[in-house]
A = this chain, B = another copy of it.
Amino acid sequence: MKGRTEVNEHTPAPEAVRRVACIGAGVIGGGWVAHFLARGYQVIAWDPAEGFEDKLRRLIDAAWPALTELGLAEGASTDNLVIAATLEEAVADAEFVQESAPEDLALKQDLLARIDAATPAGVVVSSSTSGYGMTEMQRDCPTPQRLVVGHPFNPPYLIPLVEVVGGERTEQWAVEWASRFFEVAGKSVITMDREVPGFIANRLQEAIWREALHMVANGEATPAQIDASITEGPGLRWPLLGPCLTFHLAGGEGGMAHMLDHFGPSLKSPWTRLEAPELTDELRDAMVKGCEEASDGRSIADLVADRDRAVIAVMRAIDGVRKGRS
């Protein structure tokens, strides 16, 4: 069976997966374990660290009340965790494998090659990497066709987003299978057509982070001021409206088209150290059309009404958390 790379009779339907292997059980890998257990899967975990089981069980125990409150899948139980003695044992019967090793390219190349060699053919292997492209990570794999990136956000048992993208030698069926599987497993999936360093969300996060570091380095703001500027400001809109729809609303009734046509020149203002792109007609039209699509047929007035309700609901939710602090 090994060496077969295409989807085959041994490839389970994404909906039929019952056994998931998690290789690497630190903060991210352990978070994946907690997530899959809560969704009712059997999880086989392995980590090279001596005595990792205790730490992993503490992480799961800490997450379980929240997961219970959110609603466990039928049959979900922390008893469905199996600790494997070796990597090969962990993946031998797996129907899906999630790798969450430290961010070290050589380490990931070795590890993924070992995982690939030991995992039944037709089973998709996914990496939690937050930065490396699959093309470079899959270099030494015997059957690289079924390897994908499935990049989660911390903590993986709560934040829905997973970015899925293949490498140059990944086949399209594996990308599609992984996207569908993550959806079935309760995640929000963005399937990317091409490899971009840092994927999408981390590029955006990094842009903020670098600007924040520049401000601290120059004595322009403190970390506390930077954080407050987000938590008391734009951060209250971002759970409902991303940066594109946020600026779509900033254009008033004219939406993104008005925004770009009237405020486009201010793109060049020295407001941040990231250089602005040229606002070509193509970019303008892509943004306008993209915001129409992202609006899903909802008018600006609808979006504004939703935003206001969301901001109120989010502020109340956060107030509750702050007041309930131990």
Contacts and interface: CB of A to CB of B under 8 A. Distances in A.
A222 interface: yes
A243 interface: yes
A26 to B, nearest CB: 8
A3 interface: no
A215 interface: yes
A197 interface: yes
A242 B231 contact: yes
Contacts of A153: 233-234
Contacts of A309: 66, 321, 324
A217 interface: yes
Interface residues of A, number: 117
Binding site secondary structure of chain A: helix
A217 B277 contact: yes
Interface in A63-116: 63, 66, 69-70, 103
Interface stretch (A37-45, A158-166, A169-177): A158-166
A27 B313 CA distance: 22
A192 B228 CA distance: 12
Contacts of A283: 213, 216-217
B229 A242 contact: yes
A237 B159 contact: yes
Contacts of A228: 161, 188, 190, 242
A140 interface: no
A155 interface: yes
Contacts of A280: 217
A184 interface: no
A224 B290 contact: yes
B244 A238 contact: no
A220 to B, nearest CB: 5
Contacts of A220: 194, 196, 200
Given A163-B229, A306-B322, 13 more contacts: A155-B308, A192-B225, A203-B211, A203-B215, A212-B243, A213-B267, A222-B290, A226-B242, A230-B242, A235-B235, A239-B318, A310-B318, A316-B317
Interface of A: 27, 62-63, 66, 69-70, 103, 131, 153-155, 158-161, 163, 188, 190, 192, 194, 196-217, 219-245, 247, 249-250, 252, 263, 266-267, 269-280, 282-283, 286-287, 290-291, 293-294, 298, 302, 305-306, 308-318, 320-322, 324-326
